[in-house]
Structure 1
Amino acid sequence: MILTTLPATAGVGFKPEHFGDVLADGGFGGFFEVHAENYMGAGGPPHAQLTRLRQDHALSIHGVGLSIGGAGPLDCAHLARLRSLCDRYAPESFSEHLAWSTHDGVFLNDLLPLPYTAETLAQVIAHVDETQSALGRRMLLENPATYVLFAESDIPETEFLAEVARRTGCGLLLDVNNVLVSATNHGTSPERYLDAFPLAQVGEIHLAGHDLAEGDGGAPLLIDAHGAPVADPVWALYARTLDRTGPLPTLIERDNDVPAWPELRAEAGVAQRLIDGAAAGASVSKRVAA
């Protein structure tokens, strides 16, 4: 099994409208992440652009359609397309979500939560094993943003993820915005969640913005929308995490209301300065608080 790692730099999700600006920039030293499903065709402009970017940058491929948490079998044709894509670009990271998105052959175009039970744990472990075997490489599994809790769940999410990693050898992708979204929506502590998270298994961090709505009884409801800059509470949780882990590769996610390249690059620059501080042994959480 191929074991590769991203460099401990700040990356961004690649958007085709930024291609010319990225080439003209020349000074961006971070990595790029792409959604696997956007590159499953055989050729055309998407592959021409990605091939050019790959010459100068590390690459993370992030899947959104594998349905790792689904009750049914994995789609073997989808796995084969993922294998072809990973063989073609040899990314430093491949990741997917602890979620499900298909049922009886229907793709639901969403990342849906699952109950954390012994049954679903065995199911996810089997799917991660199958994915890693099919791809011939280690994958990272991302913690979800959730809006409901299941009465039958009897395993804490952090323990669930830790056990999947222990029994499959996969790594984890820690989405800090997802931590804040879920904790706010369920009235729990994001700090306590991170204290329990198996940080030694984290191979990549995601940072993103969210939308604020109103839930039942007027309680705040956060939506993982990826359409705004990273919020201050997310930066604070991220810095707190780096104080414990040291430098880790970190992605700025922006999938809606995508800004111009200089603005996105500047936000990645904020993450890079915190990564550099962590590498130097500084307390980056104190820097953010100041």
Structure 2
Amino acid sequence: MTAADPTKPTPEVAPVGIGWRHPHHAELLQRQPALDFIEVHSENFFAPGGAARAVLRQGREHYPVSLHGVGLSLGSACGIDEAHLDRLAALVAEIEPVRVSDHACFARGPLSHQPAHTVHASDLLPTPFTRAALDAMCANVQRVQDRLRRPIAVENLSACVRWQANELGEPEFLNTLAQRTGCHLLVDVNNIYVNALNDRLQGSLQDPMDACRRWLDAIHPQTVTELHLAGHVDCGDIVIDDHGSRVVPQVWTLYRHALARFGAVPTLIEWDTDVPDLQVLLDEAATAREHASRALEPVAA
């Protein structure tokens, strides 16, 4: 065995995990593949006790767990659903996750004929990048962080439409959110690319890859705590991040750019529709490690 050269920089290693979905619960516990963490959707485990929570506790015995939510509705002007937040807080206290995250979106709002009652859209709707929307999201993020007693990570959203009222660019909106609240950012590389493709379909003259690189370069590196990678589907007149296929070459290219910008950030492979065999996700995780190794290789002096 050749001794390591002490004068040569040690390469950074980006932790890589996969989304742990129901079809793979038993197999992952049985095989215990080499993963740095697993991520689950928080709301799927809100019920106290029961089989779901028991499975998550078993997973937590073998891997660090990241809790990724889809229901906080951080951009809602009507504020945070306290019952939802209570359930999340109880889950966080029991599982002690390495990260807690949700999306820069809104999903809740008052009924027009019953303003005292709110409804949940069961979807992740794009928040306008206005100063008023930023104020609302800052207040909601701060409320969640105060309740959980920890920073959360906020993910950039894929959106098929843009608000005409936008006053800020998305990176500026997210940077300011992190600066004002102390939250982290979860950068979904696939979402950035999907948005750029949809912008092109709507008449943008920007090159999608160049637009994505400029988006990544505009984000403050110290705020980024996780990266997401996933597949998407091109329907011809719209591109949808369905998380139902392998990561495309363009997103792998952008992933390397993101790592060069942000450093060895934990990276997640997401796959939520048409969920394949577990081995397919493990293969994607191995590919992520290969790309990370190339992106983070020390530059010779």
1:184 aligns with 2:197: yes
C-alpha distance in 1 between matches for 2:239 and 2:214: 18
Kindly report which structure 2 residues correspond to 1:33-52, keeping only aligned pairs within 5 A, or say none. Answer: 33-52=39-58
**TM-score normalised by the chain length of structure 1:** 0.90
Partners of 2:299 and 2:100 in 1: how far apart? 30
**Could you report, residue by residue, the CA deviation over 1:104-156 in whole angstroms, capped at 9, with x for unpaired residues?**
22111110012111111111111111010011111001011011111111111
Residues 99 and 21 (structure 1), Cα distance of their counterparts in 2 relative to 1, 3 Å cut: same
Q: Where do residues 6-45 of structure 1 align in structure 2 (5 Å cutoff)?
A: 8-45=14-51
Q: Equivalents in 2 of 1:185, 1:197: separation in Å?
A: 21
Query: SS state of the match for residue 121, structure 2?
Result: strand
Instruction: Please tell me the residue identity of whatever aligns with 1:244.
Output: R
Match of 1:169 among 182, 204, 212: 182
Letter in 1 for 2:286: G
Match of 1:225 in 2: 242
Q: Larger Rg: 1 or 2?
A: 2
Find 2:251's aligned residue among 234, 246, 252: 234
Confirm whether residue 156 of structure 1 aligns to residue 178 of structure 2: no
How far residue 267 of structure 1 moved from its aligned partner, in angstroms, is 0.7
2:5 corresponds in structure 1 to none
Unaligned runs of 5+ in 1: 1-6, 216-220, 284-290
Aligned to 2:157: 144
Letter in 2 for 1:77: A
Offset at residue 245 of structure 1 (A) = 2.2
User: What letter matches 2:154 in structure 1?
Assistant: L
Q: d(CA) in 2 for partners of 1:279 and 1:56?
A: 27
Superposition pairs of residues 194-233 of structure 1, within 5 angstroms? 194-215=216-237, 221-233=238-250
TM-score (norm 2): 0.87
Alignment of 1:256 with 2:256, yes or no, is no
> What amino acid maps onto 2:98 in structure 1?
E
Q: Secondary structure at the match of 1:214?
A: coil
Task: Identify which of 78, 99, 124 aligns with 1:111.
Answer: 124
Q: Is the 8 A contact 2:252 2:291 kept in 1?
A: no
Cα distance, 1:8 vs. partner? 3.6
Determine if contact 2:32/2:62 at 8 Å carries over to the other structure: no
Q: Deviations over 1:215-267 (max 9, x none)?
A: 2xxxxx21011111111111110011112222110000100000111111111
Which residue number corresponds to residue 142 of structure 2?
129
